[in-house]
Copies of this chain bind each other. A is one copy, B any other.
Amino acid sequence: MPDSSRALKRLLLGRQMRSDRLHETLLPKRLALPIFASDALSSVAYAPDEIFLTLALAGGAVATTHSWQIGLAVVFVMLVVVASYRQNVHAYPSGGGDYEVATVNLGRWAGLAVASALLVDYVLTVAVSISSGVQNATAAIPALDGHAMPVAVALIIGLTMMNLRGVRESGRMFAIPVYAFMIAIMGMAAYGLYRSLMGDLPRAESASLELVPEHGYESLGTLAMVFLLLRAFSSGCAALTGVEAISNGVPAFQKPKSKNAATTLLLMGCLSVTMLMSIIYLSIKTNIHYAERPAEQLLVNGEPVGSGYIQHTIIGQLALAVFDHFHLGVILVSTVTGLILILAANTAFNGFPVLASILAKDGYLPRQLQSRGDRLAYSNGIMILAGAAAVLVVIFDAEVTKLIQLYIVGVFVSFTLSQVGMIRHWNRILATETDPRERRTHQTSRAINAVGALMSFTVLLVVLATKFVRGAGWAILAMAILYLLMQGIHKHYAAVSRELEVPAADHEAGRLPSRVHAIVLVSRIHKPTLRALAYARGARPSTLEAITVAIDPADGERLQQDWLQREIPVELKVLDSPYREITRPIVNYIAAIRRQSPHDLVMVYLPEYVLGRWWENILHNQSALRLKARLLFMPGVIVASVPYQLNSSKEVAEMIRQDIQDDTIAAGKGR
């Protein structure tokens, strides 16, 4: 069964890749930027929206007055964080990013906390980006309106499939839209700025609407106003998510890895900041009115616009204004924005499986997450990420504003711990370093990381204060659960490992059994039974007997007679089953043998039908499965499945044979 899907898998995922081709997938900067920075860059598509709609709770005037201040604050944080992470990238070229930095410098608990935070935030990156992407694409494709959730889920499935094909092709596939996005936004900003200078910039479509405060926000006191500003700032910090992606992905860069990564990081920071501020500036100039609940907050002639009003995203409204005589430009900006957001989710598809695999290697997650899949991708991690993100999208109905409340907190937890870890890192190096030139460099780095740590921690507090009850609490809960889960898994693996460990001088574990008592289980006399008997005899055990369970004594007798008639050279023992069970009498019988001669090995030969189709298996082997599950718990008992391949299994067998041949040919070519 698991093999019959191989052909389909090959069709969808392409040919497998050898491990020694792994280095071929290293990324030059021009590919690394779109792959790792698409998340950070794309957040300019929703960060301004969140700033404006949060401020607009207190009315349109507040949004206009304060949005650029909030924008500048976010830019400042962004620059500090980028500067800090450039230190990380240089200090830890092996990747592992925040998890490694926190673990090495602060200990296991910190590493695990960072890992929990990052795993949760990766999931949110996918959910937020995809949802926002669909929201943006709606401006270009009106048919999507009202179907955001199913479309988002479909996109997640599509991304999953692409990522199962492997990272290299993703890079190529994603480079064009990311660069197109940069060009489109920068172009729009430049043209808008030009028109603004010429005094020719039109007002946005929502400029004519009146934006009234939400109920309860009409006249805020100073304290309440400060709180609202902080909330807007929190939401705006969504622009910072994804900065850590590059530091996690250093090993995927071409050499010199650290230098290339640091350059890419700086480039990304500058691009991000420029785009963010341009959008905010133009939004103010075109007088965009953007509300959390447009149907009620936006008025036309004093009346709410109602639920019929479709509020385009800020980028969408900007494009409509700036390109008011050039509709192709509008379509281009909307499409490309929608596209880059969807691709931004890909950052998480790169980061999550790598981190999960590192955690699995360290024994914090199930081992299955460790193995690379067919095309050098970490298939299991990809599937889990996609599943979790899809669940979030369904629960929150693909609404960006709701999802964004859960976002960010994880990123800043890991920023903070990582930067604190870096301070320790430099301290340790400075303790031994004597070269004054080097010392100065390290001291500068330490200062940068200290500022970064302080800044990240402050933002984290602000985010928690303003968003805990709005959703960040759920994210914290998810992290806590993950943290405990990973700790539990680690404990379990450690305990098992201790239990299985063999002391160098242990002779008990390898003690040979004195004799082998072989038992062949018989239900009828047919080919599988005869084959099992032949194999069991071929293995030359000390003693060999066949046993059968007679639910109906008459059946048992008939079988016994047939057995004798065929002169089968093994004794058949018939076990009674007063309770009409098959498993128990056998377990009972074997337990008796074990009691009599505890040093013997009991080898139970189980004839099994092998069938090619899944439904056929429902019709067979059920008692065998139950019996096996029981016998596993008896020490000194081996269950040997003797398969009998029926005709219907031939197709699968042929596929396996084909597969081996392919492999042999490929190996031959490779050498």
Chain A interface (Cβ within 8 Å of chain B)? 1-3, 16-20, 366-368, 371-372, 374, 489, 492-493, 496-497, 499-502, 504, 509-514, 516, 525-528, 530-531, 533-535, 537-541, 551, 566, 568, 577-580, 582, 584, 587-588, 591, 601, 603, 605, 608-611, 616, 618-620, 622, 626, 628-635, 637-647, 649, 652-653, 656-657, 659-660, 663-664, 667, 670
Which chain B residues border A533 with CB–CB below 8 Å?
510
Looking at the assembled complex, report how far the CB atom of A645 sits from the nearest CB atom of chain B, in whole angstroms. 6
Which chain B residues border A656 with CB–CB below 8 Å?
587, 630, 633-634
Q: How far is the CA of A645 from the CA of B500 in the complex (A)?
A: 10
This chain: how many copies in the complex? Answer: 2
Question: Which one, B501, B601, B670, contacts A539 given CB within 8 A?
Answer: B601
Question: Which one, B501, B509, B528, B619, contacts A493 given CB within 8 A?
Answer: B619
- A2 and B632 in contact, given A367-B622, A670-B578 (Cβ under 8 angstroms): no
Most chain B beta carbons < 10 A, residue from A504, A638, A663: A638
Q: How far is the CA of A476 from the CA of B644 in the complex (A)?
A: 39
A513–B499 CB distance below 8 A? no
Which chain B residues border A18 with CB–CB below 8 Å?
578-579
Q: How far is the CA of A20 from the CA of B552 in the complex (A)?
A: 11
B638–A642 CB distance below 8 A? yes
A647–B578 CB distance below 8 A? no
Would you list the 3 A-B pairs with minimal beta carbon distance, nearest first?
A: A500-B526, A513-B538, A640-B640
Additional A-B contact list (15), CB under 8 Å, known A19-B580, A500-B526, A500-B527: A19-B578, A366-B619, A371-B551, A493-B619, A496-B620, A496-B646, A497-B526, A509-B527, A509-B531, A516-B539, A539-B601, A578-B670, A584-B660, A638-B640, A638-B641
B629–A2 CB distance below 8 A? yes
A619–B489 CB distance below 8 A? yes
A603–B19 CB distance below 8 A? no
Chain A interface SS verdict (over half): mixed
Which chain B residues border A514 with CB–CB below 8 Å?
538
Which chain B residues border A516 with CB–CB below 8 Å?
538-540
Which chain B residues border A509 with CB–CB below 8 Å?
527, 530-531, 534
B646–A19 CB distance below 8 A? no
Which chain B residues border A643 with CB–CB below 8 Å?
631-635, 637-639
24 contacts between A and B (CB under 8 A): A2-B630, A3-B633, A19-B551, A371-B551, A371-B582, A492-B619, A496-B611, A500-B609, A500-B646, A502-B525, A510-B530, A510-B533, A511-B534, A513-B535, A516-B538, A538-B601, A579-B663, A588-B663, A631-B643, A634-B653, A638-B641, A639-B640, A640-B640, A640-B641
Looking at the assembled complex, report how far the CB atom of A145 sits from the nearest CB atom of chain B, in whole angstroms. 33
Q: How far is the CA of A618 from the CA of B366 in the complex (A)?
A: 8
A502–B489 CB distance below 8 A? no
Question: Which one, B2, B20, B537, B539, contacts A541 given CB within 8 A?
Answer: B539
Q: How far is the CA of A616 from the CA of B577 in the complex (A)?
A: 33
A512–B538 CB distance below 8 A? yes
Which chain B residues border A580 with CB–CB below 8 Å?
19, 371-372
B579–A374 CB distance below 8 A? yes
Q: How far is the CA of A20 from the CA of B579 in the complex (A)?
A: 9
Which chain B residues border A631 with CB–CB below 8 Å?
643
Q: How far is the CA of A629 from the CA of B5 in the complex (A)?
A: 13
Q: How far is the CA of A127 from the CA of B79 in the complex (A)?
A: 68
B638–A632 CB distance below 8 A? no
Looking at the assembled complex, report how far the CB atom of A273 sits from the nearest CB atom of chain B, in whole angstroms. 41
- A16 and B653 in contact, given A527-B502, A538-B601, A566-B504 (Cβ under 8 angstroms): no
Question: Which one, B374, B578, B601, contacts A20 given CB within 8 A?
Answer: B578
Which chain B residues border A579 with CB–CB below 8 Å?
16-19, 374, 663
